[in-house]
Structure 1
């Protein structure tokens, strides 16, 4: 367990990818554990408002209000899950880079890129909420999904840099035999 946070040494491709799979499954499980109860609450509130026959405009307003709160909660939890992901993958990626004969300091490229994307998440959520409220305004001619997507490109791309980095450097060929980072890792 201590080896999880130790960037020294080398990790074989197979070891690295099994670990990445574990972290991804952990992320999915964490996200579902939070989003499912929030979505159930949202749907329950919508059904209750519809059963009370509050009227379509009132039901939509209530749903929009609850959805904005849900989005803010999910953004906060997304940041926490993102930070945990960075912490869990950093040392393993460094060891994988070492196995390919590269410096572990390259981990800073995806780590900093992802950290910046996470730091921008609250701003993105505020913008999405603002657009949602504008779309719901009477007489709004805004096209929902397209309006929400405007200006998100560079930030969204910034979030994909770490994924591409992990895939590209995660599949690099291992150096045969020992290298300056240690003995060749055991493959299973």
Structure 2
């Protein structure tokens, strides 16, 4: 519990070093709480989207197909003019991801310092994730457009996501490495 509380107390402290036993409890707590927060934030966003789609199906039955049965109900909208507003969904997603990045940035930096690396090693996943969150709404809008999807943009986003996963795996490996047992340019070993 001390590691978790220390992580929150040092949110803006990018100096010094953190051992694995200090970093991982905090990081896993932040990720777990963030996913719960994202899930709770997505409920009203997805409810609004579903209500909009259901309203379109009720008022413009020619623009939508409704399929229902025991345990399921779906609405497929055929006319782009009637598509629900996905803005709240993407807003919740962006806020949630930004919160995770902000809450983990200093701790990741200190953990990387403990392995003798600069905190900049933590940036590639953030860059690829930012590209994804910026481009994804555009790709989704083009995929749903009547003139057909732009597969080149989709493939670029797919490549970006592949690079994001590869860089995230690389970062997790770096964060899992042993601590340097002696002082380094970032300070003495964490206690």
Q: TM-score, normalised on structure 1?
A: 0.71
Q: Which residue of 2 aligns with 1:31?
A: 38
Following TM superposition, where does structure 1 have runs of at least 4 consecutive aligned residues deviating by more than 4 angstroms?
A: 146-149
Residue 79 of structure 1: aligned partner: 94
1:168 to 2:173 alignment: yes
| Cα offset, 1:118, TM superposition | 1.0
Q: 1:25 to 1:15 in 2, by over 3 A?
A: same
> What residue ranges of structure 1 are gaps of 5+ in the alignment?
none
How many residues end up aligned between the 2 structures?
A: 170
SS at match of 1:21: helix
Residues in 2 aligned to 1:132 and 1:148: alpha-carbon distance in whole angstroms? 13
Is 1:98 paired with 2:109?
A: no
1:5 paired with 2:12, answer: yes
Contact 2:20 2:175 in 1 (8 A): yes
Kindly indicate which of the two structures has a greater share of residues assigned to strand: 2
Q: Which has the higher helix share?
A: 1
Unaligned runs of 5+ in 2: 1-7, 66-76
Equivalence map 1:1-188=2 (5 Å): 1-50=8-57, 52=58, 54-58=60-64, 60=77, 61=79, 65-66=83-84, 69-70=85-86, 72-100=87-115, 102-103=116-117, 105=118, 107-115=119-127, 117-134=129-146, 149-176=154-181, 178-180=182-184, 181-185=187-191
* TM-score normalized by the length of structure 2: 0.70
RMSD: 3.1
Higher-RCO chain (CA-CA 8 Å, sequence separation at least 6): 1
Q: Which moved more, 1:152-161 or 1:53-62?
A: 53-62
| Deviation for aligned residue 1:129 | 0.8
In 2, the alpha carbon distance for the partners of 1:86 and 1:161 equals 17
